[in-house]
């Protein structure tokens, strides 16, 4: 999964209508603006430390960063922008959207400063392992192509995701800051096979075309929350994307944009529906934040 995704992201921009999948920031500017507002509010309530940086993991085309930073800058945040991205193709797109950014290959390379961090649909792309009765399920070369070597009740674990969360939480616990994580997944750990592949906006068999299709697995927010707590960060409840965006005021933002641009009303209504409706992204996608014990709880997590 790690090798396939490294190749997949390094060789294309997979986002948008002509690509393989579309993400929340690509649906509407309102998503990034509300992320920016939540981070700006938290930063201000923390006293507005000037050493703080904006950091994003897997920023895609840089759309979320550009929309979020517009709001952060308007709120007085003048800190640096640090993007963790391995794909050269996507780094190029990000450089157009956020020209003054500083890029890193790994979270370990982020400076030791207070963080305003966001990761949207990042953890789902990090590799998982699957176990059947405690034995790791592996991929073998079979007559007709690739195949799994065993079937049964599957348990997924992701040391890569937990190590990533541990690194962020350690940084927050020592230097201050808050981090927002948005992804599809479940609030409580549970057995099940959630590995999936998407190509051209359709689900495809996971082993059919390795490296040429987007390979993801649902995020286990309970496991990520534990990893963050173990490293000394505080963790919010997990809320649905729909509830979170409504709590942050997507309705008011849509209304303001509609008043300023009446011709955009149909587009704005459709975007709110896609982002918030429970049959679209509203329920499947979850949001969790972690923060330094010395920083306030980010807004939006009231249940």
Nearest residue (CB) to ligand SAH, 285 versus 295: 285
Tokens standing for 248?
């942050």
- Which of 46, 276 has the CB closer to ligand SAH? 276
CA angle 118, 71, 183 (to 5 degrees): 25
- Cα–Cα distance for residue pair 223/217, rounded to 1 Å: 14
Smaller CB separation from ligand SAH, 6 or 297 = 6
H-assigned helices in the chain: 2-10, 24-27, 29-45, 63-74, 88-97, 159-175, 221-230, 241-248, 250-260, 265-276, 281-284
Neighbours of 129 (CB within 10 A): 15
| Three-state secondary-structure class, residue 29 | helix
* Residue 81: strand pairing partners: 54
Name the residue nearer to ligand SAH (CB basis): 46 or 101: 101
Of 64 and 169, the one with the shorter C-beta distance to ligand SAH is: 64
> Which residues here bind ligand SAH, judged by CB under 6 A?
5, 9, 15, 23, 25-26, 58-60, 64, 84-87, 90, 120-122, 125
Q: How far is the CB of 133 from ligand SAH (least distance, A)?
A: 29
For helices 250-260 and 241-248, the axis angle rounded to 10 degrees is 60
Q: Shortest approach of ligand SAH to residue 110 CB, angstroms?
A: 12
Shortest separation between residue 61's beta carbon and ligand SAH, angstroms: 6
Rounded Cα distance between 293 and 296, Å, is: 8
- Classify the phi-psi angles of 242: left when phi > 0, otherwise alpha if psi is within -120 to 50, otherwise beta: alpha
Neighbours of 66 (CB within 10 A): 21
Considering the complex, state which of residue 46 and residue 64 has its C-beta at the smaller distance from ligand SAH.
Answer: 64
Residue nearer to ligand SAH on the CB measure, 12 or 186:
12
Are the CB atoms for 10 and 88 separated by under 8 Å?
Answer: yes
What does the DSSP 8-state code read for residue 15? B
Is the Cβ of residue 86 or residue 226 nearer to ligand SAH in the bound state?
86
Of 75, 35, 67, 59, the closest CA to residue 247 belongs to 35
**DSSP strand pairing (53-57 vs 115-120):** parallel
Least distance CB 81 / ligand SAH (angstroms): 14
Residue with the shortest CB distance to ligand SAH: 58
Q: Is 271 helix (H, G, I), strand (E, B) or coil?
A: helix
């Amino acid at each position: 999964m790690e090798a396939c995704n490294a190749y997949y992201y390094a060789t294309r921009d997979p986002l948008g209508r002509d690509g393989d999948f579309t993400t929340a920031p690509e649906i509407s500017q309102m998503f990034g603006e509300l992320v920016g507002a939540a981070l700006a509010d938290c930063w201000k309530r923390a006293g507005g430390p000037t050493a703080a940086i904006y950091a994003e993991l897997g920023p895609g085309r840089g759309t979320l960063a550009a929309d979020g930073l517009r709001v952060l800058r308007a709120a007085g945040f003048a800190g640096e922008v640090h993007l963790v991205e391995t794909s050269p193709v996507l780094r190029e797109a990000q450089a157009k959207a956020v020209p003054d950014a500083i890029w890193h290959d790994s979270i370990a390379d982020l400076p030791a400063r207070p963080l305003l961090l966001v990761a949207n649909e990042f953890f789902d792309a990090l590799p998982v392992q699957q176990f059947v009765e405690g034995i790791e399920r592996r991929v073998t070369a079979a007559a007709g192509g690739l195949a799994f070597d065993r079937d049964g009740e599957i348990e997924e674990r992701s040391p890569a995701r937990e190590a990533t969360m541990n690194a962020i939480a350690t940084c927050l616990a020592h230097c201050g800051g808050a981090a927002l994580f948005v992804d599809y997944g479940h609030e409580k750990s549970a057995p099940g096979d959630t590995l999936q592949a998407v190509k051209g906006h359709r689900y495809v068999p996971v082993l059919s075309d390795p490296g040429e299709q987007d390979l993801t697995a649902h995020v286990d927010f309970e496991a990520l929350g534990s990893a963050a707590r173990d490293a000394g960060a505080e963790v919010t409840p997990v809320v649905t994307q729909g509830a979170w965006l409504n709590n942050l005021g997507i309705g008011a933002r849509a209304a303001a944009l509609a008043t300023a641009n009446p011709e955009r009303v149909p587009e704005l209504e459709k975007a709110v529906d896609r982002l918030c409706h429970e049959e679209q992204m509203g329920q499947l996608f979850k949001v969790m934040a972690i923060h330094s014990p010395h920083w306030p709880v980010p807004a939006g997590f009231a249940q």
